[in-house]
Structure 1
Amino acid sequence: MTNENLNTALNNVKEAWKYPELFQNTSRSERILSGVVGSYLLFKGLTSIFSHPVIGATGAAVGAGLLYRGITGYCPARDLAEQQQDLDLDSDDIVIKETIISTEL
């Protein structure tokens, strides 16, 4: 992670902290649970990174993501799912794929 990426992440956290109504899409209980589980996974991942590098790095990455979600209250996966849901057609919509015109009477 470069300094630019770290600064971008910190600025995102600061903005989310200042204006929570613009960025939050998770409930309070989800934030608390994400923060607790993320902290645990980050800690376990970092402590086991030398004995099991792949598992430790994966645990640390997932833990950092959950901790970010818990701190900011913003979940990018949920945001993407909500955007996809808005784009889906309703069950009442009719999609016409082919038009046939008959000239015979």
Structure 2
Amino acid sequence: MRVLLTAVLSLCASSVPAHEARTGWRYDSYCCNGDGHSGDCQQIPSKSVSIIQGGYKVTLAPGDHRLATHAHIFHGPQDRARKSHDSEYHLCLFPDENTPRCFYAPDMGF
């Protein structure tokens, strides 16, 4: 019975969509409600991000993130940004397009 339960749990775990960026690294499970192709986390254009004193300003236009249907401006402190593993910016919007849940940024280099 234990072997069967283990096999069923393994099968279920393998069918869960990967919470991955396009380049293959995984978003933190807290941040991601889906995957890098249909979920709420995805890479955003670097032109959407400005480094400001103490953090970041993200200016999203429709099309910059699959959930953005209108313009948004988000501000976040540097110490709240998560480390991007591909030198790109990524944003997770959840539960709706008005709520940034997680922001991933490459090292600022200073």
Sort the TM-score into its range (normalised by shorter chain).
under 0.3
The structure with more strand, counted as a fraction of residues: 2
- Structure 1 or 2, whichever has the larger Rg, is 1
Q: Normalising by the residue count of structure 1, what TM-score does the alignment of the two structures yield?
A: 0.23
Q: Normalising by the residue count of structure 2, what TM-score does the alignment of the two structures yield?
A: 0.22
The structure with more helix, counted as a fraction of residues: 1
Higher relative contact order (CA 8 A, sep 6+): 1
